[in-house]
Amino acid sequence: MKYVIALLLFLTTTLGYSFSDQMNEPLFDKGFEWCVATSAHQIEGNNFHSDWWAFEQEGHIKNNETSGLATNHIELWQEDIALMKELGVTTYRFSVEWAKIEPKKGEFNEEAMMFYVNLVNELEKNNIKPFVTLHHFTLPNWLRLDGGWANKESIERFELFADFVYKHIGDKVNYWITTNEPMLYLLGGYAFAEVPPMKNTWADIGAPLVNLVKAHAAVYKLLHHNRNQEESRTPIHVGIANHFRIFKAHRAINPLDQVAAFYAQRALNNSFLDAINDGELVLYFPTMINLRVHIPEAKGTQDFVGVNYYKRDEVKFIKKAPFLEIGNFSNKEASDLNWEIYSKGLKKVVEKTLKKYDVPIFITENGIADKSDSKRPDFIASHLKVLSNIKRGKSRILGYCHWSLLDNFEWREGFDPRFGLVEIDYETFERKPRDSFYYYKSIIRKNK
Ligand code: BGC
C-alpha cells in the first residue's frame, strides 16, 4: 500500500510540475511577431479598375454579390489601426492594390499611393510594423485584357509597380511578399475554373506560371537593390506567401486517389517554392503532360517562406478534367465553409518546409470562417500550440499572422464567410470585436 501511495504521489507531483511548467513556458521566443493579415480588395472597397471588379459584375460571385464598398476600410482605416493597437499585434500584413496605383497602363496615381503612405505612418506611430504584399490575387483590368500573367510583359509591369511602391514606403518596410498563393491562384484560373480565366484544362498554365516565377525573381532583386542604395541598409526580407494544404486519398487503398493526392499536394505546396529555391520549375499534371522549366534567375530568391495554412482535404481521382475532386467527404469537424479543422497539419507543413528550404518561415495566414465565433478560440489555441511545440528550428519561426483582422469579401464566396476577429455590420460598417479578438489579445499579451 505504502508503495502505491508513493507511486501516486510521485505521479501527481511529476505530472503537476510538468503541467504547470508547460503553462508557464512562453509560447515563443522574444522577437516573435504577432500579426493580423488582410488584403486590399477584400477590405478597402471601390476597386473599380481591377480584374476582379469586372469579374464580379459578370455574376460569378455567390448570391450575385460584388465587393462594392467591402468593409469601407478606405475610410475607416484609422479605426482599424486603433483596433490593431488594442489587440496588441506587432506586425500588420496588408496588400497594396496595383489596380488603384496604376488604373491605366503607365499612369501611376500618387493620390492612391498616399493612402498607403498615411497607413504606414500611422502604423509606425502605433509601433506596428508594416508587412507588405504586392500581389494578392487581383490585377489591374488593363493587364487582364492584355493577357494577364500569360503575357510576358507582365514581368516588367510588375517591376515598375513594385518600384513605385518602394519609392513611397519602401524605407519603412522590412517584410515583403511579392505574390500571395501563386499556385492556388493559377490552379484556380487554369485547372479548376474558379477564377479568371476560368479554365479547367491545365493545358495553358505554363506561360503564366513561368512569368509569375520570373516576375517574383525580378522584384526580389529590385527590392534588395533599392534597399542597398539606402544608407541604413536595414536587412530586408522578401518571399512569397505559399498556400499549404494537406491532401489525403479519399479511398485509402485506391492507387489513383493516392497519386492524385500526391500530385495535388506537390503542386500546391512545392512547385513554386522549388522554382524560387533552386531555379527548377516542375509541375506534374494529373495527365501525361508535365511541365519542366529551368529558370536560373529565380534560384535563391527567397529570404523566408510565408506559410498560409487552413485545412486538410480528401482527394478523389475522376476521369475527366480537372481529374481531381477535393473536399471534406468524410464530414470531419469543420468550419462554416466545411474546411476540416486539422491543426496537426500545420506541424507537418512547417517541419517539412524548414527541412526542405534553408530559410526561416513566417505564418502569413491561418484562420477560420466561423460566424458564431464558437470554434475560433480553439482553432487559434490549437494551431499556436502545435506551432510552439515544433522543436526543430523553433527560433526560425518568425511570426504568426491571423487571418483576418476583419470579416471581409471572401472572393467567390462573397460576404457570407466570416473570418474576422472583428465582426463587420455590412449595413453600417460598425466594427464589433468578437470574443476571439480578446482571446487572441490575451495570448499575445502573456505569450502563453
Ligand atoms: C487567401 C485569402 C482568403 C483566405 C481564406 C487565402 O487563400 O490568401 O485572400 O481570404 O485564404 O479563404
Nearest-atom index, ligand 1, CA of 181:
8
Query: 239 φ, ψ to 5°?
Result: -160, -165
| Cell triple for 149 | 500573367
Establish whether residue 302 lines the binding site of ligand 1, counting it when its CB lies within 6 angstroms of any ligand atom: no
Cα separation, 371 vs 369, whole angstroms: 6
Testing ligand 1's pocket by substitution, the residue of 178, 272, 410 carrying the most ligand atoms inside 8 A of its CB is 410
Closest CA to 35 of 330, 397, 355, 287: 397
Q: Give residue 2's pLDDT.
A: 54
The finding on whether 328 has its CB within 6 A of some atom of ligand 1 is no
Mean pLDDT by 10 residues, the chain (448 residues): 50 44 76 98 98 97 98 99 98 99 98 99 98 98 97 98 98 98 96 88 92 99 98 96 98 94 94 98 81 97 98 95 92 98 97 94 99 98 96 81 99 98 98 98 96
DSSP SS3 for 357? coil
Ligand 1 and 410: CB distance under 6 A? yes
Nearest alpha-carbon partner for 109 in 78, 72, 140: 140
Q: Are strands 422-424 and 91-95 parallel, antiparallel or unpaired?
A: unpaired
Ligand 1 within 6 A of CB of 243: yes
Q: Which value, to the nearest 10 degrees, does the dihedral of the CA atoms of residues 125, 129, 132, 136 take?
A: -100
What's 362's DSSP letter? E
- Residues β-bridged to residue 362: 306
Cα of 417 vs centre of ligand 1, distance in Å, is 11
Cis link prior to 140 (omega < 30° from 0)?
no
Q: Considering only CA atoms, which of 314, 315, 392, 378 is closest in space to residue 350?
A: 392
**329 is written with which cell numbers?**
467527404
Atom of ligand 1 nearest to the CA of 243: 7
Judge contact between 62 and 109, C-beta under 8 A: no
Domains observed in the chain: 32-446 (3.20.20.80)
Q: For position 20, what pLDDT does the model report?
A: 46
Whether 39 is in the pocket of ligand 1, judged by its Cβ within 6 Å, is yes
Query: Ligand 1 pocket: which of 403, 404, 412, 418 to mutate (most atoms <8 Å of CB)?
Result: 403
Q: Residue 37 forms beta bridges with which residues?
A: 93, 403
Alpha-carbon span 131 to 133, nearest angstrom: 7
Q: Give me Rg for the CA atoms of the chain.
A: 22
E strand or H helix at 259: helix 255-278
Select from 308, 305, 276, 309 the least CA-distant residue to 293.
276
Say if residues 54 and 141 touch (Cβ distance below 8 Å): yes
Contact 34, 84 (CB under 8 A): no
Q: Hey, whose CA ends up nearest to atom 10 of ligand 1? A: 410
Report, as residue numbers or ranges, the catalytic residues: 181
Question: What is the rounded distance in angstroms from the CA atom of residue 65 to the CA atom of residue 261?
Answer: 33
The whole-number pLDDT of residue 321 equals: 82
CB 357 within 8 A of CB 302: yes
Question: CA quadruple 436, 246, 414, 331: dihedral positive or negative?
Answer: negative
Nearest residue (by CA) to ligand 1, atom 12, is 410
Q: CA 32, CA 30: separation in Å to the nearest integer?
A: 6
| CA 385/CA 414 separation, integer angstroms | 31
Q: Is the CB of 181 under 6 A from ligand 1?
A: yes
